[in-house]
Amino acid sequence: MRRLTVRHARPHDTERVVGIERACFTNPNPTLLANVCGMVDGFLVAETDDCIAGYVLFTPSSAEDARVLSLAVAPGNRRQGVATRLMRGAFDVLRGRDFDAVSLEVRVSNTAAQSLYDGLGFLPVGVEECYYDDGEDAYLMEKEL
């Protein structure tokens, strides 16, 4: 893996981030990403050789807790530690803002993502039935910071 840097997203990252979103999700939301890229502190990108390899978008869900809205790594950059570095970057930002915990939803069929989150210390705390547009359930996972 080339040198990887995690940093806050900037407006000029929008096109690449939207491309990753479209490549990674069956129901992408490029409008959301385009509207917040570089505009919120809870949007980090992983960059290698001036190329965006992935992103994570997170937001407060209460005064003490945050929620990961989206995490994606470009197909050519997977299984190289990019998602782990992005999530650890998000944890650092959230700890710096005195958040106590972070949560996320993950498809019940996405065992690779579940393994990633488990390795990062997330614990399953429930199931959100029919969470996704296609009717698939999601596991709700949480991590104490």
Parse the chain into domains and list their residue ranges: 5-144
Q: What percent of the chain has pLDDT over 90?
A: 70
Domain 5-144 in CATH 3.40.630.30: yes
CA dist., res. 38 & res. 83, Å (int)? 19
137 CB-contact burial (10 Å; exposed 0-12 / middle 13-18 / buried 19+): middle
Contacts of 24 (CB under 8 A, 6+ apart): 72, 73, 74, 75
CA dist., res. 95 & res. 77, Å (int)? 27
pLDDT tens digits, one per residue of 120-142: 999 999 999 999 989 999 999 99
pTM of the model: 0.91
Average pLDDT over residues 57-82: 92
Catalytic residues: 105, 117
The answer to whether 100 and 144 have CB atoms below 8 angstroms apart is yes
pLDDT tens digits, one per residue of 28-60: 777 777 778 767 778 999 998 879 999 999 998
